[in-house]
Each structure stands twice: as structure tokens, then as C-alpha cells.
Amino acid sequence: MAGHDNLNGSTEKSGSGMDDLPTFNAENMQNNMKVILYSRTFMAIIGGVIAGILGLTSLTGFIFYFLVMAITSVALTTKAKFSIHSYFDSWNRIVFDGFFGGLMSFVLFWTFAYDIVHIF
Amino acid sequence: MAEDLVLDTAIRDWVLIPLSVVMVLIGVLRYFVSKLMKGSSQLPDPKIVKEGQVIIRARSLRAGANYIPAKSFRARKAYYSNEENGLLHVPKGQAQNPQAQMFSDPNMAMDMMKKNLSMIIPQTLTFAWVNFFFSGFVAAKIPFPLTQRFRAMLQNGIDLSTVDVSYVSSRSWYFLNLFGLRGLFSLILGEENATDDTQRMMQMSGFGMDPSKTLGAEKDGLDIVQHEWALPKFEQRAEAVLRKLVK
């Protein structure tokens, strides 16, 4: 899958796990969220172009988007070395954040690539 | 579903691709122009900056209240919200009327206007340009079916009811670009461009706000914080760690 090289953004350790008390560094958290948003947008655009070139239409395209997002989630989890809670406050962050924001970019680039390659 | 239309490749080369490229370039241009305008503005009033910093400090005290001992918290709280000379205490009658402040500082209104203009002018120009050159083209086809209800949205500028809804007119392609390129801009221009709009909204809402009011609100917030030390076993833990080190 293209574009996993962008996951090298700094995901800093933000939890210190003292007496199982949740301690977070707000700035690092925000940085982590930014990295997630960034990689999701990137993957949405790349995925859109790929879907367009492959000529996927209607439902297949949206399934492809879900697939790309799932791959991104898995990649982010791997990048966090499967210890989500030392980087984010909940699972929702890594699974759902930026999901719908990316959809618009995905549709645009999907349409663009599809039109250039297929309909003319 | 109607049978497929055959579109001329010239439409692709001279409408679809130029339109998209121009949209991207205009976004980049707008970013740099607004940056240029922002850079030329002068320094803000030191008093306002000071008040903002005090508020941030009080806020972080409130957030981290449970991580310091009760005594330290009380001392800091007194420092901020003391009735006589606390930092957050604003004497009555000294609060400046925001309306008057706005008139005394024309730069503020000027800045707002510049920002809005740098937003509106390129959009109006591009829209006029698209309307003038590319009105009435079927420029693109979205790769998924939609219901009739989307016809007004996607075939803006074409008055044919027999064309399949998934065909997009050039004017609507412009709108799709307008909304969909936000993600791309956040990638190529950095994060601040994406947050620009929301920040502007924040400024709008905070524009008419009285700084003394925020100070007062922060003071009230600090007053009602229940202090509960989160690290009661801290000393034992430190002792254990030190003992291990000594051994």
C-alpha cells in the first residue's frame, strides 16, 4: 500500500502510568492527533487516486475507502507499538478521527482520476 | 439510467484539468497573501497579552490542581484570586468598554477586513472566471449513482432533465473542488491553513468580549475547584525507589 512512509511523524510518549492514574501531556496529545489527521488525509487522497485509476464505481469505491481507512488504523496502531493508551486517551481516536474529513478529499480525487482515465 | 454520454477529450484537457490546477494554485496564492498581510501588522497591546498569559497560567493551575499538595494549591489560588491584589481580580469601573476599545484601535477592524477580503476576493474572482469561460460544460462524471435530488447541486448551469445525475457541470465541479481541496491544502501548506477558518471564527466570537469578564470567569472557576491530591502514595513510592537505588 502506498503512502505509509508518512507515519514517521513524532508520536511522543505522553503517559507516565503512575499509580494507574491517567496523566496526559496535552501538547503531545495534540501533536499525536495532528499526526493521525495528517496521515488520514494523505491516505484518503492517495486512495482516491488509486480508486479512480482502477476504475472502481459506486459501492466498490466506498468499500475501498473503508479498506484504506482500516489499513491506516492498523498501520497507526503498529506505529504506536500496540500500546494505544500510552499515546492516546481512547481507541476511538485511532479508529474514527478524521474519518469523515477524509471522505470529501477521497471523493474529489476519486472523481478526478476516474474522469481523466475512464470517461473521455 | 440514461446511456453513457461521449465527452470530448478537449473538455478534459481544457476544462477539467485547468480548473482543478487553478483552484489549487489560487489556494496556495491566498495562503501566501494572507501570510504577507499578517506579517505586516504591528505588535499587540502588551496589557492584553499580559492578561491572556495570566488566564493561561490560571487555567493550567486549575487543570493540574490535583498534582500539587493542598498547601501549595492554596498558596497559588490566593495569588491568583485574592480579593485585594490577586492577579485575576479586576477593580470595578476599570473595565474598558469593548466598543470604545474598537474605535480607539482601528487596526483591529482593519485586520479583520483584510482577512475577510483575502478570503472573499479570490473566491468571487474564480467563480466569475469559471462562469464566464466554462458555463454549460458537462465536465466530469462522479463514479457513483445519486438520486434526482442532487441534480440542482451537481448540474448547476445545465438545464437538461434527461442527463444522468452523476454527470457534473463545470460550475459544480468548481464547488466540489472548493470543498474537497481543504484536505490537500492542509497537507501541502501545513496545519495552520486548515485551522485558519476556525480560528477566524474564534476571533469573531472573541472580538466583542470584555477581557475583564474572562478574568472574572477564570477567577470563579478557580474558586470552585475542589482540591483532592491525586498522589497520596507518592512519598512511599519515592522512598521505595530510593531504597532500591541505595541497594
pLDDT digits (tens, 9 = 90+) for A43-55: 999 999 999 999 8
Residue A1 lies in a domain: no
Instruction: Assess contact for B85 and B93: CB atoms under 8 A.
Output: no
Provide the percentage of residues in chain A whose pLDDT is more than 70: 80
Q: Is A33 on the interface with B (CB under 8 A)?
A: no
Provide the percentage of residues in chain B whose pLDDT is more than 70: 79
Instruction: Assess contact for A102 and A41: CB atoms under 8 A.
Output: yes
Domain count, chain A: 1
Residue A5 lies in a domain: no
CA pair distance A71, A76, nearest whole angstrom: 9
Residue A71 lies in a domain: yes
| Positions in chain B whose pLDDT score sits under 70 | 1-3, 39-44, 90-109, 191-212
Residues of A in contact with B59 (CB under 8 A): none
Question: To the nearest whole angstrom, how far is the Cα of B72 from the nearest Cα of chain A?
Answer: 20
Residue B169 lies in a domain: no
Domain that holds residue A61: 10-119
Domain that holds residue B102: 9-137+182-246
Residue B216 lies in a domain: yes
- Does the distance separating the beta carbons of A41 and B186 come in below 8 Å? yes
Residue A40 lies in a domain: yes
- Does the distance separating the beta carbons of B144 and A58 come in below 8 Å? yes
Instruction: Check residue B212 and give its pLDDT.
Output: 66
pLDDT band at A64 (very low <50, low <70, confident <90, very high): very high
Residue B167 lies in a domain: no
Residue B162 lies in a domain: no
- Does the distance separating the beta carbons of A101 and B183 come in below 8 Å? yes
Query: Considering only alpha carbons, which residue of chain B is nearest residue A31?
Result: B191
How do beta strands B167-169 and B138-141 pair?
A: antiparallel
Instruction: Check residue A6 and give its pLDDT.
Output: 42
Name the grid cell of B182. 481543504
Instruction: Check residue B173 and give its pLDDT.
Output: 86
Residue B128 lies in a domain: yes
Question: To the nearest whole angstrom, how far is the Cα of B81 from the nearest Cα of chain A?
Answer: 25
Residue A2 lies in a domain: no
Question: For testing the chain A interface, which of B163, B168, B170, B184 should be mutated: the one with the most A CBs within 10 Å?
Answer: B184
Residue B168 lies in a domain: no
Residue A3 lies in a domain: no
A8 pLDDT exceeds 50? no
Question: To the nearest whole angstrom, how far is the Cα of A28 from the nearest Cα of chain B?
Answer: 15
In this structure, chain A runs to a length of 120
Instruction: Check residue A46 and give its pLDDT.
Output: 92
Residue B159 lies in a domain: no
